Amino acid sequence: MAEVLAAMVVGPLVSMVKEKASSYLLDQYRVMEGLEKQHEVLKRKLPAILDVIADAEEKAASKREGPKAWLEGVRKMAYQANDVLEEFKYEALRRKAKQEGHYKELGMDLIKLFPSHNRVAFRQRMGNKLCMILQELDVLIAEMHAFRFKFRPEPLVPTLTGFAAGTGSSCCKVGELGRLSDLGSQLELTRLENVKEADAYAANLRIKKKLARLTLRWTYGDREAQNNDKEVLEGLKPHDGLMVLKIYSYSADSCPTWMNKLHGVVKLVLSNCKKLVKLPSIWQLPALQVLSLHRLGNIRCLCTESSGGVDTVWRSAFPALRELELIDLKSLERWEAGEGTPREELIFHRLEKLTIHSCPELTTLPEAPKLSVFEVTGASRQLLSLHAASRYIASLSSLRLSGNEEETESMAEQPSSELVNGKEKWDHNKSPLTKVANIPPSIKTLEILQAQSSNPIRKAGCPPNITCLALQ
């Protein structure tokens, strides 16, 4: 079931990458200067994939292994391309903020995310990444022709994809969505602070079976006097087969129980939910592959105990998760609750990519035997180290460590035994990544920005297996 759902979400993912590749910001702030040809090739080839996605998904749904494997390749390429385009977008926003004389209005401190602004180094590093994406696309398109996937245009039926709630008597109410028999596959509801509980229930999202992607957005800001967010979110319950759910600026301290029952959800984003103190039981969702948590200032742990017993929870936690992004979680301390009690360590059995930005209280790393991409940026004191990354040495293909001088100096003073989970004691002098000769051949991308731990590599030179190296 999870594999079929994952295949079905590939189309919207590639569409999102196509839109990002055409963003006006990339041209306006010249972040792709010197890479214009590669940029144009990317914009030409993505539609070729989109043209046949419907046929490939149909064949994969009939349990044909070839199309299923091809869709998995497209999914991986799309996520990689999305990450690259996000870096271009942030660089564009950084240049925009610098041009206008302010950094802070972007919602996060881009100076910390990008401590080095050398344009030549940026172009070289991103050019290598972009070329790797184009090579993957060439392989996928060749396989696409070999499988003889056919173009299948979707019928042009007008559907509602966005709805902004108003307050005046002449404004449309969210409850009016309940009268629509077909909302299409995606819907974004904004200005939800203007919605009453009764209208939320009247929208009847729970019976809109074609809805696959749902975005719920409250206006960001302090709304103490009119906080009925929890009741509204409870009323906006979608059907259990929803695949993508994004929630922004939700202002209650807990989530409704229906979020524990989204057994088909593949991607979940929670952002700017500053009052949230406890996450729903997302670690029990069987199909969840991508989890992004941004600016949840009161969350202290990723998993909490349940009535099923601690050990049971940890053994079955996040059974399908492949990508985890933790950004600006100032209070996050632990991966699981129950500190000081006997339990099995939380293990991410399928996790391929782990990104941690500005989580200053998080001092340990989980087990992740298949992790290939590991990125730590900002104030993660104990985690910003080659020694911490060494526990993933057998599977890593890309490693990025980035922090300012103050952070790396304080990190250097920490005992090496604190850099990993307390069950293991690492020898500071024997960490496999402290010597350039010990960097395994599997690692192709290595970026260490303003980190003292890059000194041994800087002195020894670039290993032959590294295709993208940045030491600043």
What are the residue ranges of helices labelled H in 225-318? 229-235, 310-316
Query: How many C-beta atoms surround the C-beta of residue 256 within 10 A?
Result: 17
* Residue 405 main-chain phi, psi, to 5 deg: -60, -40
Domain ranges of the chain: 2-147, 160-276
What are phi and psi for residue 11, nearest 5 degrees?
A: -55, -55
Residue-wise pLDDT tens digits, 107-117: 444 444 444 45
The single-letter code of the amino acid at 71 is L
State which amino acid sits at residue 449. L
Amino acid at 441: P
Q: What are 186's strand-pairing partners?
A: 213
Residue 306 contacts residue 260 (beta carbons within 8 Å): no
- DSSP assignment of 144-204: HHHHT----PPP------EEE---STTSPPGGGGGG-S---SEEEEE-GGG--HHHHHHT-
Q: 444: helix, coil or strand?
A: coil
**Tokens standing for residue 210:** 């074609």
List residues bridging with 415 in a β-sheet: none
**How far is residue 205 from each of residues 180, 208, 321, 421, measured CA to CA in Å?**
10, 5, 26, 43
Per-residue pLDDT of the chain in tens (472 residues, 90 and over written 9)? 444 444 445 777 788 788 888 887 788 878 888 899 999 999 999 999 988 988 888 888 777 889 989 998 998 898 889 888 888 888 887 787 777 665 444 444 444 444 445 778 888 888 999 999 999 999 999 999 999 998 876 544 445 566 777 666 556 678 888 877 667 778 889 889 989 999 999 999 999 888 888 999 998 776 654 558 999 999 999 998 899 999 999 999 999 999 998 998 999 999 999 899 989 888 889 999 999 999 999 999 888 655 444 444 455 688 999 999 999 999 998 887 655 444 556 788 899 999 998 888 888 888 888 898 888 886 555 565 666 677 787 788 888 777 654 544 444 444 433 333 333 433 334 444 444 445 566 666 666 654 444 454 444 455 555 544 444 4
> What pLDDT score does 247 carry?
96
CA 140 to CA 47: how far, in whole Å? 13
What's the token pair of residue 284? 């029990």
Burial of 179 (0-12, 13-18, 19+ CB in 10 A): exposed
Strand partners of residue 245: 214, 268
> How many angstroms separate the CA atoms of 250 and 377, rounded?
26
Taking CA atoms, 147 is separated from 59, 66, 69, 162, 416, in Å, by: 10, 8, 11, 36, 52
Amino acid at 109: D
Contact 139, 169 (CB under 8 A): no
395-413 CB burial, b ≥16 within 10 A, e <16? bbbbbbbbbeeebbeebee
Q: What is the pLDDT of residue 342?
A: 47
Q: What is the pLDDT of residue 409?
A: 44
Q: Nearest Cα to 82, choosing from 250, 299, 278, 325? A: 325
d(C-alpha 216, C-alpha 233), whole Å: 9
- Whether 453 and 99 have beta carbons less than 8 Å apart is answered as no
Task: Provide the β-strand partners of residue 447.
Answer: 400, 470
Say what the pLDDT of residue 312 is.
Answer: 44
DSSP structural state of residue 344: P
Please tell me the pTM assigned to this model. 0.67
pLDDT of residue 439: 59
By CB atoms closer than 10 A (0-12, 13-18, 19+), residue 104 is exposed
Pick the closest to residue 422 from 357, 351, 343 (CA basis).
343
Which residues lie below 8 Å from residue 292, measured CB to CB, with a gap of 6+?
A: 267, 268, 269, 270, 271, 325, 327
The pLDDT of residue 324: 94
In this prediction, residue 447 carries a pLDDT of 66
Q: Is 251 helix (H, G, I), strand (E, B) or coil?
A: coil
Type of residue found at 440: P
